[in-house]
Structure formats: C-alpha cells, structure tokens
C-alpha cells in the first residue's frame, strides 16, 4: 500500500512521544514493504532542518517540512475566548501547507492518507477533494481530555476557566470531526472505546509498537539504587507531574533514602527546575542516547496527574527491563499488572512506599523489570501491530470496530 502521512510535527528525529510513535509505525510499514510519503508541520517549537535529516530517511519517505507558526499569540488567545473555535486547531491551519498538500495529491496517488492527531483534520477537505484514498485518523490521545484534566488542577480560577474553554472547544471539534474519517486507529483500548461511543465508523485499537531487535536490555550493571525520569518538559503534564513529585513525594523518599539520587532527563527543562537545587536531584537535560541513559539507571518514575493516550517512555523503559513506578493516569492504556510488571501509586505516601520497596530489594526490582520485558514482548511487538493494522486496512468488511 502507499501511505501519505500528514504529521503535526516531524517524525524525525524521534526525540519526543509523538514523533517516536509516528516513526515506529512508519518504520514498521517500510519494513513490511509499503511505500511512505511524509508531509509534516515544522515549527519553532519543534524545528527540524531538512539538511539534517539523513539522506536514507528522505529517500524512503520523501519527507517534506512546511513551516507553520504555532507560537501562542496573547491577543489571538484572548479573542478566542469569545468564539466556539478550538484555538489549538486554528493554529495548525496554513495556506502553504494546504497548497503543498493539493499539489502532492494532484501528482501522486495513495491508498491511505493518515492524519497524525486531530490537529491535522483541517486538511480533510483538501484530501477528499483530490484523492480517493481512505482517510485514517491516528489518534495519539483523546486530545481534549488532556486539557480537561489540566483544568481541574491548580488553584488559579482564571487559568482554570481558560483551560476549561480550551478543553470544551477542542472537545466539540474533536468529536464533530470523527464522522469525516473512514477509520480511526486509537493508541489504547480505552481511547478506542471513546471513539466507538462517539462515532459509527470503524475503530481499531493500535498501540505503540517496539522493534524488539533495537531494545535489548543492557546486561551491564546499572547504578543501583537510582531513580530517573525521561520526558520532554515542554509537555505540560510532564512538568506538572514532576513538580508534584518533587513537592509531595520526593521529601518522603529522601527522608527514608537520604543517599538515593533522582536523575531528570529530557528536553526543555523549565527555569524553575534548573534553579531548584534540591539535594540529590540531578538535572541531566537532553540526553544524546535515550536507551543508554535508561540502561544506566535502575528505577523509572512516571508521576503523571493528567494526559491521555499512552506513555511511550513507560513502554520503552519496560522493554529495556526497568522497574517502573507510575500513577494510574501515567500507566493508563498500557496492558500492565500492578505488582507484577509495574508499580502503581496515586498518593504521595504510597508512591514513596513503592519506591522504598524497590530501593530496598534489588531482587524485587530485577523481577519487576524482567516481567516488564516479557509484557512488552507479548503485547507490543511492532511486527504484530503492523500486521494487525494492515489486515484492518485491507479488510473489505471493516465497518465494525475491532477490539483486541
């Protein structure tokens, strides 16, 4: 099959959750013998220079990057309060992007046009006009749910009011656009059930897949005990979760484990975190090799209080045989078993207790990590996921939603 991917950011380099998920699917499809073309948004926030993209990647994907100014404009953001339009979506509307898409569709034919996130939905009309391809939404999250959950956090009433406005307008847009697609590939079963309940089109549960050949647990001895978090801090739920952990959980952990170190890695570390100077908290920042960093530490923390979709960094850590401590929301959508291949805790005292249990028992930590690897092998092998997706796309009778 021939795929055209319309991406809200470049899949290369795969340094964040979204690009990692997109690239995983793209690489799996290429490996399976399909043809790929990528048209992606390039922004100042996630900027990629085409000359930096490897020639091999360009040759395989024909990737093109169209710059869109996604910066938040205070005046536009304020005026949006008096409309029923989603400010999130409006920022992705670009004459240049639409024009280039029209040119591509008038010169090339595709079997599938894949919209990576609902933010690319403004280009449905052009796609329908110039192509007979199936139009598939790849839903990385229930996007409005992220903002709905964020609106319930914090104490600033004006901020909460504005976040509620953003979530409500995005929810209306997200649900109203579902009927215009030919199918939806949801990243978790719970997300898939939401889309089934709000549309009558075919939905498949298609999780993020791991190329197991590229995720070999490093048998070299990691620093034990040690905690780590890896994630881009320009994603609000990550920053919010780490702040909660440092304020509410870390004092409890540090009191009982005064020698334990916490390593915080990822892009876009906020200024408040860089200046925090908490004892035994090491701000690593962006790492050159994520797998090497993960393998060098022993216990991953994912203390999310909001968000949606699936946390790719949990799956990657589990694939590398690491014990993970997360909240229920952090591990949402992942087929895990608490106490067997991951530890789940939503209250500060319980999360601190879970961390202490791992720190004080290296064999328990290794057991959780080994079970985590088995879980990924059984449920998140990219080869199986690609086959499942292609079978669904090829089906002549895919009007019924499929579940695992």
Domain ranges of the chain: 2-209+381-394, 213-379
370: exposed, middle or buried (Cβ count in 10 Å: 0-12, 13-18, 19+): middle
- Across 180-184, average pLDDT: 96
Is residue 188 within 8 Å of 207, Cβ to Cβ? Answer: yes
Report d(CA 351, CA 326) in Å as an integer. 8
Local confidence band at 277 (pLDDT 50, 70, 90 cut-offs): confident
Options 3.40.50.2000, 3.40.190.10, 3.40.50.2300, 1.10.10.60; which CATH number does 213-379 get? 3.40.50.2000
**How much is the mean pLDDT over the chain?**
91
Range 44-68 average pLDDT:
95
For range 164-173, the mean pLDDT: 90
Q: How far apart are CA 349 and CA 143, in angstroms?
A: 30
If you average pLDDT over residues 105-114, what whole number do you get? Answer: 97
**Is the pLDDT assigned to residue 401 strictly greater than 50?**
no
Q: Work out the pLDDT band at 309, boundaries 50, 70, 90.
A: low
- What are the strands, taking DSSP E only, across 267-368? 281-285, 299-302, 323-326, 343-344
pLDDT of residue 398: 46
CATH number for domain 2-209+381-394, candidates 3.10.580.10, 3.40.50.2000, 3.30.70.1090, 3.10.20.30: 3.40.50.2000
**pLDDT tens per residue across span 371-389:** 999 999 999 999 999 999 9
Q: In the structure, what pLDDT confidence band is assigned to residue 145 with cuts at 50, 70 and 90?
A: confident
Q: Are 286 and 267 in contact (CB under 8 A)?
A: yes
Lowest mean pLDDT among 77-81, 138-142, 309-313: 309-313
Name which of 27-41, 93-107, 139-153, 348-362 the model is least confident about. Answer: 139-153
pTM score of the predicted model: 0.78
Ramachandran region, residue 280 (left: φ > 0; alpha: ψ -120 to 50; beta: rest):
left
**Residue 220 confidence class, pLDDT cut points 50, 70, 90:** low
User: Average pLDDT, stretch 184-197?
Assistant: 92
CB within 8 Å of 355: residues ≥ 6 apart? 227, 249, 253, 257, 299, 301, 325
Are 355 and 299 a contacting pair, CB within 8 Å?
Answer: yes
Nearest-angstrom CA–CA distance, 292 and 17: 17
> Does 274 have pLDDT greater than 90?
yes
The band of 219, judged by pLDDT with boundaries at 50, 70 and 90, is low
- Beta pairing class for 281-285 and 112-116: unpaired
What is the percent of the chain where pLDDT is above 90?
A: 72
pLDDT of residue 404: 45
Q: What is the pLDDT of residue 26?
A: 97
Report which of residues 80 and 286 the model is more confident about: 286
Do 2-209+381-394 and 213-379 show the same overall fold?
yes
> What mean pLDDT do residues 16-32 have?
92
pLDDT: is 75 or 339 the higher one? 339
pLDDT given at position 389: 96
397 pLDDT band, cuts 50/70/90, is very low
pLDDT at 308: 63
Q: With a cut of 90, say whether residue 287 has pLDDT above it.
A: yes
Task: Quote the pLDDT of residue 178.
Answer: 95
pLDDT of residue 387: 95
pLDDT higher at 230 or 80? 230
The per-residue pLDDT for 149 is 78
The 10 Å Cβ neighbour count of residue 339 is 12
Predicted pLDDT at 403: 46
């Amino acid at each position: 099959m021939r795929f055209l991917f319309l991406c809200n950011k470049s899949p290369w380099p795969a340094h964040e959750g979204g690009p990692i998920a997109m690239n995983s699917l793209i690489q799996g499809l290429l490996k399976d013998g399909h043809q790929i073309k990528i048209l992606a948004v390039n922004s100042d926030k996630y900027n990629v220079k085409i000359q930096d993209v490897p020639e091999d990647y360009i040759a395989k994907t024909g990737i093109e990057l169209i710059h869109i100014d996604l910066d938040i404009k205070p005046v536009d953001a304020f005026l949006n309060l008096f409309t029923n339009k989603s400010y999130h979506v409006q920022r992705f509307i670009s004459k240049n992007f639409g024009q280039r898409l029209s040119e591509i569709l008038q010169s090339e034919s595709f079997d599938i046009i894949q919209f990576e996130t609902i933010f690319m939905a403004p280009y449905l009309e052009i796609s329908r006009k110039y192509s007979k391809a199936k139009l598939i939404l790849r839903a990385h999250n229930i996007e409005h749910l992220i903002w709905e959950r964020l609106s319930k956090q914090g104490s600033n009433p004006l901020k909460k009011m504005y976040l509620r406005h953003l979530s409500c307008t995005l929810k209306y847009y997200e649900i109203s656009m579902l009927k215009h697609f030919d199918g939806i590939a949801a990243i978790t079963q719970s997300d898939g059930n939401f889309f089934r309940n709000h549309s009558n089109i075919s939905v498949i549960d298609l999780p993020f897949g791991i190329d197991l050949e590229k995720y070999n647990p490093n048998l070299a001895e990691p620093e034990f005990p040690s905690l780590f978090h890896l994630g881009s801090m320009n994603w609000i739920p990550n920053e919010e979760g780490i702040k909660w952990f440092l304020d509410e959980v870390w004092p409890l952990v540090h009191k009982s484990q005064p020698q334990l170190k916490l390593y915080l890695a990822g892009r876009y570390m906020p200024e408040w975190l860089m200046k925090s100077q908490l004892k035994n908290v090491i701000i690593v920042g962006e790492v050159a090799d994520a797998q090497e960093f993960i393998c060098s530490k022993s216990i991953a923390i994912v203390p999310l209080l909001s968000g949606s979709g699936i946390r790719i960094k949990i799956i990657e850590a589990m694939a590398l045989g690491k014990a993970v401590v997360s909240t229920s929301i952090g591990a949402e959508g992942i087929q895990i078993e608490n106490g067997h291949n991951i530890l789940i805790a939503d209250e500060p005292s319980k999360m601190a207790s879970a961390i202490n249990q791992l720190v004080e028992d290296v064999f328990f930590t290794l057991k959780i990590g080994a079970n985590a690897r088995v879980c990924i092998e059984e449920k998140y092998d990219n080869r199986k996921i690609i086959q499942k997706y292609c079978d669904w796309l090829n089906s002549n009778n895919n009007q019924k939603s499929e579940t695992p």
